[in-house]
A and B are shown apart, each in its own frame.
Chain A
Amino acid sequence: MTDLERRVADEILRIAREDLRLGPPPAGAAPLAGQLDSLALLSLVVAVEDRFRIALSDDDGATTRSLEDLARLVAARAHPEVLP
């Protein structure tokens, strides 16, 4: 992961912990689906879309499995102004 991707991952973890109060933070490379139930996962996706002003499509959903995948996708797609 690049520095930017790591900063994005940290920000996603902050959202999960502080904004959504999701309990234990998801770990980097493990599948998110094994760590969050479908409701928590959905909340996280929408909160990430909101924070970084991007829209994740169903196609993205098929290829994004872990926190690291999600951070990479956000770093590649979000406008520099909204990145940490």
Chain B
Amino acid sequence: MILRGPPLPPPRWPTLVHAFAHAAGDPSGITFVGLDERETFLPWGEVYDRAARTGAALAALGIAPGDRVAIVLRTEPAFLDAFLGAWWCGAVPVPLYPPVRLGRMDEWLAATARMLEVSGARIVVSGGGTRRLLGGAIERARPELGCVDADRLRACAGDGPPAPARLPAPGELALVQFSSGSTVDPKAVALTHGALRAMADALVVATAPDRRRDALVSWLPLYHDMGLIGCLLGPATYPGPLVLVAPEHFLARPALWPRAVARHGGSISAAPSFAYAYVADRVRPADLAGLSLARWRLALDGAEPVSGEAMRRFAALLAPHGFDPGALVPVYGLSEAALAVTFARPGGGLEGRRVDPVRLARDGEVAPGDREVMSVGTPVAGVEVAVRARGPGSPLAGEGRLGRIFVRGPALMRGYLGDPGATARALADGWLDTGDLGFVAGGALYVHGRAKDVVIVRGANHAPEEFEVPLARVPGLRPGCAVAVGVEVDGRGEALVVLAERARGAAEDGGLAAEVRRTVLEATGVEPHEVHLLAPGTLPRTSSGKLRRGEALRRLQAGALRPPQKVGALRLAAMAARSGLAYARARRGRPPPAEGS
């Protein structure tokens, strides 16, 4: 099946740098909401002015067009200074995630160092305590110009009027974002200015913002495509009011999100399914007393498998405040496509299609069952989606048949920075192999499962090795015989499941599973939803002995993950007899093999 989005309208701006320069004249801007709900407002003009000063300082330090500028800052004005400052002088921002508070510092430093190396960053812009902690990563990666403080950078630009921004060509590199941050296999997605412009234009078509009436409210991290491209760069192009809450503040106090929406008359917001479930679980009616959410017209749900149950619980909590359940819209996208691929139709209902997960996993066939899968709709403007039976170039899968999802359009990545092999595997003949699986039914796309090795927890992509490598030190497990996979949990989004083979003779008590849980949690901050301890040899492997994660998950879901059958003398004799018969049949149909072959 191929689904096609509407045509992309003519570009409004050559690039988003042009759009930002234009936004500087608009009275709207960005409001930063603190944990205590104190607010700081920066009009777009001031955003631009600060960026120009930072960009001038970066240029004075020797940053040239095309250089990568890594940014390790939280959701704060300094992030915009550094990001837009890099654009101002023609450089390429590389946003990286700041440390999680309390613990796991070593893992964060190792991952940051690796991402600095992969991105080829010439300089790191950070600030405050985060910058003091970055020493270990800077020492390992050794960016040529070291690590600078964002506030000091802006201050040293001088008092004169800043020079205008360098306006890039659409084909130039605009952004490097990591599709998953890890020490093992960080994938640096390289996007051009033309791709970002096309995505911003497609988002404007999909959300039809009215700059006099709409306000976008976001708590999503700015080092992630949905927060950065969807919620920061998009609104800057029309331009319109934007309200930002730091993700760590939302996670600590989830009521901040609907409260900020109510205070600012917010009408557009986006989040992964886990956040809708989290609000439904944690926000109390008293937190919302007296608030109206009647202007909220788009609550986009994506970045991980969409949970209908999470959306229904969220809608039920907010219904007394005038929230329209029709505002909840499942979406699908990935950073390699610069964010959005498909949008469902607003008001399309909160009930998904119920399918049989075992037949889907075993036969690739959509049949009625009890697993709810939400439609993620149809392609956004300029985008085509193909569901193919197998890999690139294979036949298209028919209606209601599970296949592999491919995407084509003007916003695809240029490739993975410094990794031509991975780029060639992902991009062929203009099509991006998303690695996701899905099917088309009733003219809409449904995403269910994936062929690529990635686990998405709370909207963040994790390479499975992040969870598997620490398990090598757990006594009682077969070394190198564990896989991490993601499974959908009803009403909760995706969760981590660990499948690990016991060492021969290891006890079958609950102690080993508890140790597996503790080890993964301590190393990664993610607690496994389930741990399955398996008999040796149960996990499927390739002919070269590599573990097959996707196949292990498919067998688990199909109820077919079983240890290899024991081969006794009788069974061996039966197998030899069957083999002999097969040879005899083969000889009858073909000439005997040549001597020596």
A residues lining the B interface (CB < 8 Å): 31-39, 41-43, 45-47, 56-62, 64-65, 70
User: In angstroms, how far is the closest chain B Cβ from the Cβ of A6?
Assistant: 20
- Complexed CA–CA distance, A36 and B76 (Å): 27
Write out the residue numbers on chain B whose beta carbons fall within 8 Å of the beta carbon of A58: 98-99, 101, 128-130, 132-133
- Complexed CA–CA distance, A62 and B132 (Å): 10
Which among A37, A45, A62, A70 is the interface contact of B105 at CB below 8 angstroms?
Answer: A62
Write out the residue numbers on chain A whose beta carbons fall within 8 Å of the beta carbon of B518: 34-35
Chain A interface SS verdict (over half): helix
Q: Can you name 20 A-B pairs with beta carbons within 8 Å? A: A32-B103, A33-B103, A33-B104, A33-B521, A33-B525, A34-B518, A38-B526, A42-B100, A43-B252, A45-B102, A45-B252, A46-B248, A46-B252, A57-B128, A57-B129, A58-B130, A58-B133, A59-B132, A61-B100, A61-B103
User: In angstroms, how far is the closest chain B Cβ from the Cβ of A11?
Assistant: 17
User: Which among A38, A42, A65 has the highest number of chain B CB atoms within 10 Å?
Assistant: A38
**B155 near A: Cβ within 8 Å?**
no
A33 touches B102 (CB 8 A): yes
Q: What 0/1 pattern do residues 272 to 297 of B give for CB contact below 8 A with A?
A: 00000000000000000000000000
* Nearest residue, chain A, Cβ from B524: A38
B102 touches A64 (CB 8 A): yes
Which among B102, B129, B525 is the interface contact of A37 at CB below 8 angstroms?
Answer: B525
* Nearest residue, chain B, Cβ from A20: B282
Within 8 A of A (CB), among B226-253: 248-249, 251-253
Write out the residue numbers on chain B whose beta carbons fall within 8 Å of the beta carbon of A57: 128-129
B102 touches A61 (CB 8 A): yes
- Complexed CA–CA distance, A60 and B104 (Å): 13
7 more A-B residue pairs beyond the given contacts A41-B103, A59-B133, with a C-beta to C-beta distance below 8 A: A36-B521, A37-B527, A38-B100, A38-B525, A56-B102, A60-B102, A70-B102
Write out the residue numbers on chain A whose beta carbons fall within 8 Å of the beta carbon of B129: 57-59
**B408 near A: Cβ within 8 Å?**
no
Write out the residue numbers on chain B whose beta carbons fall within 8 Å of the beta carbon of A32: 102-103
User: In angstroms, how far is the closest chain B Cβ from the Cβ of A1?
Assistant: 18
Known pairs A47-B252, A61-B101; A35 contacts B525 (CB<8 A)? no
* Nearest residue, chain B, Cβ from A41: B102
User: In angstroms, how far is the closest chain A Cβ from the Cβ of B148?
Assistant: 17
Q: What 0/1 pattern do residues 489 to 528 of B give for CB contact below 8 A with A?
A: 0000000000000000000000000000010011001110
Within 8 A of A (CB), among B85-135: 98-105, 128-130, 132-133
B residues lining the A interface (CB < 8 Å): 35, 98-105, 128-130, 132-133, 248-249, 251-253, 458, 518, 521-522, 525-527
Write out the residue numbers on chain A whose beta carbons fall within 8 Å of the beta carbon of B133: 58-59, 62
Write out the residue numbers on chain B whose beta carbons fall within 8 Å of the beta carbon of A38: 100, 104, 525-526
A41 touches B522 (CB 8 A): no
- Complexed CA–CA distance, A25 and B522 (Å): 16
A65 touches B102 (CB 8 A): yes
- Complexed CA–CA distance, A62 and B109 (Å): 11
A41 touches B100 (CB 8 A): yes
Known pairs A31-B522, A34-B518, A46-B253; A39 contacts B103 (CB<8 A)? no
Write out the residue numbers on chain B whose beta carbons fall within 8 Å of the beta carbon of A35: 518, 521
Write out the residue numbers on chain B whose beta carbons fall within 8 Å of the beta carbon of A34: 518, 521-522
B35 touches A46 (CB 8 A): yes
- Complexed CA–CA distance, A43 and B253 (Å): 8
- Complexed CA–CA distance, A39 and B163 (Å): 43
Write out the residue numbers on chain B whose beta carbons fall within 8 Å of the beta carbon of A60: 102
Write out the residue numbers on chain A whose beta carbons fall within 8 Å of the beta carbon of B525: 33, 37-38, 41
- Complexed CA–CA distance, A58 and B128 (Å): 9
User: In angstroms, how far is the closest chain B Cβ from the Cβ of A77?
Assistant: 15
* Nearest residue, chain A, Cβ from B105: A62
* Nearest residue, chain A, Cβ from B35: A46
Write out the residue numbers on chain B whose beta carbons fall within 8 Å of the beta carbon of A37: 521, 525-527
Which among B105, B249, B458 is the interface contact of A39 at CB below 8 angstroms?
Answer: B458
- Complexed CA–CA distance, A70 and B102 (Å): 9
User: In angstroms, how far is the closest chain A Cβ from the Cβ of B361?
Assistant: 28
User: In angstroms, how far is the closest chain B Cβ from the Cβ of A15?
Assistant: 12
* Nearest residue, chain A, Cβ from B247: A42
